[in-house]
Amino acid sequence: MTVTRPARLTGAALCAALALTVAVWILQDLAVLGSPVDLARYWAGDHRFPTRGRSATSPLDPVLLAAYAATAVAALRSPHAASALAAAGTATLALRLPGLWAAGNGALVTALLELALAAGLLLTAAVGRPADAPHEPRPARPRTGPAVTAGILLAAAALLLALGELYRAGALPLEATVDRFTGGRSVVAPALAPPPGWLSAIAAGLYGTAAVSCLLRARHARAFGLLAAALLTADGLGGVARAVRYETLTRLGDLAAPDAADVLTSVFELLAGLAVLVLLAGRDAPSAAPGPHPAAGARPPAPPHPTPPGW
C-alpha cells in the first residue's frame, strides 16, 4: 500500500524513537554487565558468570532494534512502506503489552512509551494513503518459489513452537503454566522481556501469519516474513549458543527426549530463519505491464464510410 511522503517521514521518526528507546536500555545493560561479550552471553542464557546487576533486555531487544532501523530506512526510501510500518507496529504492541503489569517503574514507562509509538505506526500506515491511491502503483508480489518455500518453513516453525508450549503446559503445574503467560513470581526474566509463554504465543502467531501471507503471495508478505524470520533466527541462535556452551549439541544421545528435541528445534529455527531471510530478501515478481495509453495529441479514429444511421 502506498503512503504519502509526510506519512513516511512520520513513520521513520516513530521508528527512530522506538530504536532509540531500545538502544538506551541496551547501553544501560552494557554498563551493568561490563562488556558486549558478557551481554551476548547473558542474552544466550548463560548466567554462570558474575555480574554487577540484572539485565533489563533480552534477545528480543536487538531484533526489535534491527527491525525499527530497517523499517525507518524502508519508510524513507520506498512509497510502499505501509506494510513494514504495520508489521513493526503490530509486533511492538503484542510484545510490549505485558510491560504494563511488569515490576519496576522504568519498565512500565518504557512499555507505555513504546505502545504509544507503536499505535502511531499503525495509525500512520492506515491513514497515510494519498488521495489518488487507486491510481498509484501497487507493491509487487514475492516470487512463487521463494514465497512458498518461506511459507512452509515458517509454518513448520509455528507448529514446533505450539507443540513445545503444549508439552510444557502438560508437564508443568497449572500455576507455573499460568505464570509463563502472565509473568508470575515463578518466572525470572529480564525487566523488559515478555513472559516466555506470552512470547511463544506471539511468535507462533507471527510465524503463522507470515506463513499464510507467503503461501498466498500477498503484497505484505515480505514485511511480515522478514520480521518473523529475524525473530526466528534470533531464537534459534540463542538456543544453539546455549547448546554449544553447555555441550549438549555434541551429546544428543545422552539427553532425555524433550531436551534433545529442544536442541534440534533450535538448530532448525536457526537454519530456517536464515533461509527465510535469504528467500524473502530477493527480487519480487515482475509487475504486470500497464495497458497501452493513447499518445498525446492523437486524433480519434475516423467515422466509417458510409456513415451508419444515427452516427
Q: Determine what percent of the chain is predicted with pLDDT higher than 90.
A: 59
pLDDT band at 300 (very low <50, low <70, confident <90, very high): low
Q: Tell me, what's the pLDDT at 269?
A: 97
Q: Tell me, what's the pLDDT at 74?
A: 94
Q: H-type helices in 78-195, by residue range?
A: 82-96, 105-127, 144-171, 174-182
Q: Tell me, what's the pLDDT at 52?
A: 57
> What is the SS3 assignment for 146?
helix
Q: Tell me, what's the pLDDT at 227?
A: 96
**pLDDT tens-digit map of 231-283:** 999 999 999 998 988 888 888 888 899 899 999 999 999 999 999 999 998 76
Strand partners, 142: 284
> What whole-number distance in Å separates Cα of residue 40 and Cα of residue 96?
21
Count of Cβ atoms closer than 10 Å to residue 171 Cβ: 10
**pLDDT tens-digit map of 33-88:** 888 888 888 888 776 655 555 678 999 999 999 999 999 999 999 888 999 999 99
pLDDT band at 307 (very low <50, low <70, confident <90, very high): low
Q: Determine what percent of the chain is predicted with pLDDT higher than 70.
A: 85
Region 7-26: mean pLDDT is: 96
Backbone φ, ψ for residue 296 (5° rounding): -65, 135
- Locate cell 534440534: which residue? 264
pLDDT at 289 over 70: no
> What whole-number distance in Å separates Cα of residue 88 and Cα of residue 200?
18
Grid coordinates belonging to 15: 521508528
| Extents of the domains making up the chain | 1-129, 141-283
Q: Tell me, what's the pLDDT at 112?
A: 95
> What whole-number distance in Å separates Cα of residue 231 and Cα of residue 270?
10
**Gyration radius from the chain CA atoms:** 24
Q: With beta carbons less than 8 A apart as the criterion, state whether 140 and 284 touch.
A: yes
What DSSP letter does each residue of 268-302 carry, written as one string? HHHHHHHHHHHHHTSPBPPPPPPPP-PPTTPPPPP
> What whole-number distance in Å separates Cα of residue 184 and Cα of residue 173?
13
Lowest mean pLDDT among 35-39, 138-142, 178-182: 138-142
pTM (predicted TM-score):
0.87
pLDDT band at 285 (very low <50, low <70, confident <90, very high): low
> What whole-number distance in Å separates Cα of residue 229 and Cα of residue 114?
22
Q: With beta carbons less than 8 A apart as the criterion, state whether 17 and 117 touch.
A: yes
What is the average pLDDT score of the chain?
87
pLDDT at 170 over 60: yes
